[in-house]
Structure 1
């Protein structure tokens, strides 16, 4: 994915920070998969562990599932007038979950069935979908500028028991991306990884 330009008109420093983090993670994924053939991209270090391609596709699936939820949250927030730059408020459970998700991985977190990666057809297909989905996430972050990230809340597509503020949702998605970038790097460094 080419380097994205930071929109000059962003007012919320949280959004600016989130966009910079998203762009950095996307650049690192580009560097990680550069020069990989389909064999290395789809290679699993052992049964039950994901390939680099599966890590990336899982992130695309996650972004796709969050997209309509984010859009609905922003639409409702604008209609209700929940705008402005709010004070960051993260609940203790959210902080704990972010800590557990952050790399280095401290333990397995089983992905819900609807979040599992699809069968990997080719590197090109997965990378194209990854670029598209994360370009859409970037646009959602830009569209959230002007909204109070902490008073606008959504229900996670992973479980209707999980409620997040818009700011927490962006933080969760970015931490989740860093987790799977770390996981993908471990695959590339694993013994037996196919040489390109």
Structure 2
């Protein structure tokens, strides 16, 4: 896929994430934001905190990569390595498999409040800025270290797509949890 189309699709996805956070999650009360379908499942805020933890690493790593990579020929194709394809496939929202997250990225047990939503919104704005900056960068240059094993590197384009797809996956999880909270509240009212 050419760079312009690739980046436009990612920008549209991030704008959709922003809209979902604003319209679907920001208006929720504390009960719904903190509702856990079961002890081992995440609440809405835990889903977003997990994404915030990844953004705290990947947004600066991608920003640094964009400063280091050379400019690319106009509208070149984005290429994928085996590691990039595998990483993106694992986090696709239509991949129904559940995976354990690394311990330091697991938000369970934290005392979370609405500031998690604020931080999530800030990270989305930063990501849109990074996607704009990526317009003229060589997205195939492998300069973004993988968070849990930094000797492995993703291409800048692969890292951008990984971040966006990962966020889509957990936004869907947060929206499902919101629905479960609504159902639980209705059951309590009966």
The alpha-carbon distance between structure 1 residues 161 and 152, as it changes in their structure 2 partners (threshold 3 A), is closer
How many residues are matched? 181
Structure-to-structure mapping, 1:76-91, within 5 angstroms:
76-77=68-69, 81-84=70-73, 85-91=75-81
Asked whether 1:43 is paired with 2:35, we answer yes
Instruction: Report how far residue 34 of structure 1 moved.
Output: 4.4
The correspondence for 2:117, drawn from 127, 152, 159, is: 127
Taking the aligned partners of 1:133 and 1:100, their CA distance within structure 2 comes to 22
Q: Which residue of 2 aligns with 1:175?
A: 165
CA shift for structure 1 position 40: 0.8
Deviation at 1:44, TM superposition (A): 0.6
Q: Tell me the equivalent position of 2:84.
A: 94
Q: TM-score, normalised by structure 2?
A: 0.84
CA distance in structure 2 between the aligned counterparts of 1:65 and 1:194, rounded to whole angstroms = 36
* Partner Cα distance (2:168, 2:12) in 1: 13
Does the alignment pair 1:187 with 2:177?
yes
Relative to the length of structure 1, the TM-score reads 0.82
Deviations 1:126-166 (A, max 9, x none): 11111112211211111122101112532112222432111
Counterpart mapping for 1:5-84 below 5 A: 12-77=4-69, 81-84=70-73
Say which SS state the counterpart of residue 79 (structure 2) adopts: coil
Over aligned residue pairs, what C-alpha RMSD do you find? Answer: 2.1
Which portions of structure 1, spanning 4 or more consecutive aligned residues, are displaced by more than 3 angstroms? 191-195
Q: How does 1:106-117 map to 2 (within 5 A)?
A: 106-117=96-107
* CA deviation map 1:94-128 (0-9, x unaligned): 323322321234222222233233724322x1111
**CA contact under 8 A between 1:15 and 1:145: conserved in structure 2?**
yes
- Structure 1, unaligned runs of 5 or more: 1-10
Once residues 99 and 121 of structure 2 are traced to their aligned partners in structure 1, the CA distance between those partners, rounded to angstroms, is 24
| Aligned counterparts of 1:73 and 1:41: Cα–Cα separation in 2 | 34
